[in-house]
Amino acid sequence: MNMMSLAELNQALQSKQISSVELTEFFLARIAAHEPELNSFITTTPEQALRMAQAADQRLAKGDAPNLCGIPMAHKDIFCTDGVLTTCGSKMLANFTAPYDAHIVSQFKALDMPVLGKTNMDEFAMGSSNESSFFGAVKNPWSLDRVPGGSSGGSAAAVAAGLTPFATGSDTGGSIRQPASFCGISGLKPTYGLASRFGMIAYASSFDQAGPMAQSAQDLALTLDVMHSFDLRDSTSLDQPKPDYVAALAQPLAGLRIGVPTSYFGEGLDADVKKVIETAIAEYEKLGAELVAVELPNQAHAVAAYYILAPAEASSNLSRFDGVRYGHRCEDPKDLADLYGRSRAEGFGIEVQKRIMLGAYALSAGYYDAYYLKAQKVRRLIQQDFLSAFEQCDVIMGPVAPTPAFKLGEKSDDPLSMYLADLYTIPVNLAGLPAMSLPAGQVKGMPVGLHLVGPYFSEAKLLNVAHQYQLHTDWHLQRAPMAQGAAL
C-alpha cells in the first residue's frame, strides 16, 4: 500500500476496498518499524490520526467524501498544529504546543486526512542537510549514511521510505526541491503567495513558501489543489484563480520551449549528475519539445545575495524568541538582560545563531547600504534575468543540486560548501517563481532530480511537463530499499 499513488489510494478508499482506519494503522506500523533508524519524525500522533481516520470512514460511508479524504499524511514541524507539539526542529520550541492550526493544516484537516505526525527538519529551516535539528539528523532512506537534504529532509525521507503517502514542506532557498532530489521523490515550490504562510513559523518572510512533497507530479497536482487557497490572515496571500491542476496534466508537450541555461552546466556540477540531466532533457526532445539556450547572467551572485537577505530577515523574525512569552527559558535569570541572553544562547543552535549574527550585522548602521541594499538590487536583477529568459521559453530546466546526497557529516565543517548545495535553487526564491524537482535518474545508486522553473503562476504547466515525462519514464516509481517489500 505504501507503493500506491495518492490517486490509487483515493480510488481504493472511495470504492471501499480499504478503510481509512486500516490505511492509517498500516502507515503507523511502518513508522514504528523504521523510525528508530530514519529519525524522520519529531512527533507522531497515532491517537489523533486514528480519530481522524474514523471520522473519514464515516464520511466515506455516506458516499459524498471529497478527494483525498481518509488518506494519511504528515506535516513538516514548521506548521502550527492545534494541540500538538510544534518545535521547528529547535530546543527553543521543544516545549511549545501550538494553540491553533496553520491555514494549510486546516485545509487538509477539512478533508479528514489523518495526520500521522510532524516531520523532522533543520532548525528553523536553516540548513541543506537536516543535520542542524535539535532532535538529531535525519537519514536518507536510500543510504542511511547519507543526508536526505534540507530543510524539509524529514518530509522527504518519510515519503521516500513509504512512511507517509504525502507530506507538506517549506522552501526558503530550495528546502523542498533539494531534499526531493536527494530522496528520489517529487516536490513543488509554488509561486510566492500562492499558499498561505499563516501559522508557518517564519525564517525569511519574503522567501518562505509552503509546498507539497509526494511520489509523482500527479500526486502533487492533487495536493496543490488543496494548498492553493487565498487567506486574509496572510498579507502576502494572493487571490489568484485556481486552475484545474489534475486536468492540465494531460496536455501534450508538442511545441514546448525548454530553456537550458549554459551556466548551469559549467564548473561545480558533478559530471555524472550532468549526464543524468542531459539525458532527461533529451527525453523531452523525443516528446516534441524544443531546446532554447538562455542566459542568466546574474545567477552567480544569487548565493551571496541570499545569505545577506535571508539572515537579515531571520534576525528580525527570531527576535520574538526571548524566553518571556513562550519557548525555552533559562533557569534563575539574574535580570532581564541575562534572561534574554541565556535563553537565546541555550535555545538556538549554532547554525541559527550564526545566521542571526550575520543578519544583524548586515542590517546595522553603516553596513545596510553596503550589504543589504546592494543585495536587494541583485535580487531584482536576478528576477529580471528570469523574466527575460521566459520571453524565449516556457520552462527552464537544469540540475536541482550539484551532487547527489552527500554523506552525513561530510560538509559540517565546510559551511561554504554546504551553502553551495543550493546553488541552483536559491535564484528561484529570490525571484519568487514556481519550481519543482522530479526524479530523473541515479548516480551510484543515489537519486538525482531534474529542476523545472516556470513563470509566475505556471504551476499547472510545470506539473503537466513533469507528468508527461513520468508517463514515459519510471524514475518516479523507483523506491528506496526501506520502502520496498511491504504490503497491506
Q: Which residues are catalytic?
A: 76, 151, 175
Q: Which residues contact 63 (CB under 8 A, 6 or more apart)?
A: none
**DSSP SS3 for 448:** strand
- Distance separating alpha carbons of residues 79 and 56, to the nearest angstrom: 22
8 A C-beta contact, residue 137 and residue 131 = yes
Q: Which residues contact 207 (CB under 8 A, 6 or more apart)?
A: 172, 173, 192, 306, 309, 310, 313, 429, 430
Q: Tell me the backbone φ, ψ of residue 75, rounded to 5 degrees.
A: -110, 140
Comparing C-alpha atoms, which of 388, 423, 418 is closest to residue 406?
418
Instruction: Copy the grid coordinates of residue 65.
Output: 467524501
Residue by residue, DSSP assigns 150-211 as: SSSHHHHHHHHTTS-S-EEEEESSSTTHHHHHHHT-EEEEPPTTSB--TTBPPSSTTT-EEE
Amino acid at 217: A
8 A C-beta contact, residue 209 and residue 171 = yes
> Rounded to a whole number, what is the distance in angstroms from the first to the last CA of the chain?
6
Instruction: Copy the grid coordinates of residue 92.
Output: 527553543
E strand or H helix at 119: strand 115-119
- Distance separating alpha carbons of residues 345 and 350, to the nearest angstrom: 9
Alpha carbon 350 to its chain's center: 22
Place of cell 532530480: 449
